[in-house]
Structure 1
Amino acid sequence: MPLTMAFGRSCLQWTVIVFNTLSLIIGILSVVACIYELEKFTEGSAEHREKLVQLASVSLLVLSSFVGCLGAINGSVRILCCYVTMLIAMIASHIWKLYRYNETKQMAATEKMLTAAWMSELVKKGAMDPIQETYECCGVSSSLDYVNLNVKIPLTCYRSQSGLRSIYPYGEGCLVALKRAYMNIYRYERLGHSLLIGFEGIGILISLLLICKLLTKSRRYSY
């Protein structure tokens, strides 16, 4: 018995609907994550442009979820074909992103961003505060960066709890802390793209099964 005959039409339709509901949730969470990460990169930089491409890809995932549900509910072959095309385009964008992954380049971009923040700190105090407070670090290499320049160590270099600050500043420099944090995010993103390729591939498969089922039914009625 052909695989398309093993599932009823209504079963396949509901499978596509449930799949796209899950896609919608994943897409919305991914859009929020991309918008959050965009703020970490300088506008116009290569990393910023890549994040915009990634944002466009996950936005397409959200849009495709509605298209997939619409095609499944109406039993429309044309809409489902459009949906499959969108999934193929997203898989292509994931492959493009994986091809461009370069950890050395990411580390260099992180170092460049921190250097810019440090230079701004030397001109006007406070530029390093968000980084030091978020990643619990101090200076570029350590708190000695401030000491060697005869600059007062900022309060964000000290751990704070219940309104009380520790006596000693953070022992870790922001370069090490930032590289570690960004690299973890970078590797999780790479894994996420790989998983989405498989996830969207499943979406293509069940959509094609439903399309075959709908076409078989229309041929049956044409006789």
Structure 2
Amino acid sequence: MACRITFLKAILIILNVLLSLIGVALIALSVFELNNTTPGSFEHIAVVVQIFVGSFVILTSFLGCFAAGRISLGLIWSYVICLAILLSLQIYIIAAAHSTDYVQRARSDYLALWADRRHNSERLAYIEQRYTCCGSTGPQDYILLGSGIPLNCYKNLERSSSNLFSAGCLESVQAHATDNVTNGLIIKWLLFIVEMTSLGIATHLGITVRNKLRRERF
């Protein structure tokens, strides 16, 4: 019995360390993406939710390590409840991620910015420098509009033909969104698997500790 508890304790601590690392990775990815999204957009809201989930994951992993270290039945069951809540959120997030076309959302958000270039000039300038692109489909967009190509369309803001960005921002934004979706799904599924495993181990540990305490009473 003691060996089993020690083994489960060690496994649970390892899983929670892994869980905290995944949580940190999720927050880091989300914070990076937060700076590249338009406030109020669907993508922006989704990133904020991911930061909340990542923070909850880290706090839960700390609780799991503490519960395993103390072999406290109350803490173990509290940890199990937190994991159950996390798994519920995770299932919802994964379902939403698979049912939502984030690439189309990114496309729509960019087209909305481009449609009102005067009021979104700073945001468009940031996108052009961030993704090394120019205009919606290319530099010719500005020429067709009868305006000069802005300095944002040049590498290091140096106006020369060799520094001109040739790619359109619409394509670049969509490519970036595709990469984010792939990376996000990998992290979400990995987190889900670790959470499920941790839940199973924690439940088994809780039952084992409870049975041990019952035997000691008699």
TM superposition score normalised by structure 1? 0.84
Does residue 94 (structure 1) correspond to residue 78 (structure 2)? The answer is: no
2:163, 2:99 → 1: CA distance? 33
1:26, 1:105 → 2: CA distance? 24
1:17, 1:199 → 2: CA distance? 12
Contact 1:120 1:127 in 2 (8 A): no
Aligned to 1:35: 31
Say how many residue pairs are matched.
218
Offset of 1:197 from its aligned partner? 1.2
Q: Larger % of strand: which? A: 1
2:119, 2:20 → 1: CA distance? 45
Q: In the superposition, relative to structure 1, how do residues 210 and 130 fare at CA in structure 2: closer, same or farther (>3 Å)?
A: same
State the secondary structure of the residue aligned to 2:57: helix
CA displacement 1:52-79 (0-9 Å, x = unmatched): 3322222110110111111111111111
2:138, 2:159 → 1: CA distance? 22
Q: Which amino acid aligns with 2:113?
A: A
State the secondary structure of the residue aligned to 1:8: helix
Once structures 1 and 2 are overlaid, which stretch shifts more, 202-211 or 97-106?
97-106
Does residue 214 (structure 1) correspond to residue 206 (structure 2)? The answer is: no
1:123, 1:45 → 2: CA distance? 16
Aligned to 1:196: 191
Q: In the superposition, relative to structure 1, how do residues 103 and 178 fare at CA in structure 2: closer, same or farther (>3 Å)?
A: farther
Q: In the superposition, relative to structure 1, how do residues 29 and 192 fare at CA in structure 2: closer, same or farther (>3 Å)?
A: closer
Contact 2:43 2:106 in 1 (8 A): no
1:86, 1:138 → 2: CA distance? 47
Offset of 1:123 from its aligned partner? 5.1
Aligned to 2:12: 16
Offset of 1:165 from its aligned partner? 5.3
Offset of 1:6 from its aligned partner? 9.6
Does residue 156 (structure 1) correspond to residue 147 (structure 2)? The answer is: no
CA displacement 1:32-54 (0-9 Å, x = unmatched): 32233234444444433333332
Aligned to 1:68: 64
Identity %: 26
Q: In the superposition, relative to structure 1, how do residues 104 and 124 fare at CA in structure 2: closer, same or farther (>3 Å)?
A: closer
Contact 1:159 1:166 in 2 (8 A): no
Query: RMSD value over aligned CA atoms?
Result: 2.6
Q: In the superposition, relative to structure 1, how do residues 153 and 180 fare at CA in structure 2: closer, same or farther (>3 Å)?
A: same
State the secondary structure of the residue aligned to 2:162: strand
1:155, 1:164 → 2: CA distance? 6
TM superposition score normalised by structure 2? 0.86
Q: Which amino acid aligns with 2:206?
A: I
Contact 1:159 1:169 in 2 (8 A): yes
Once structures 1 and 2 are overlaid, which stretch shifts more, 212-221 or 135-144?
212-221
Aligned to 2:55: 59
Offset of 1:191 from its aligned partner? 2.4
Does residue 129 (structure 1) correspond to residue 159 (structure 2)? The answer is: no
2:163, 2:18 → 1: CA distance? 47
Q: Larger % of helix: which? A: 2
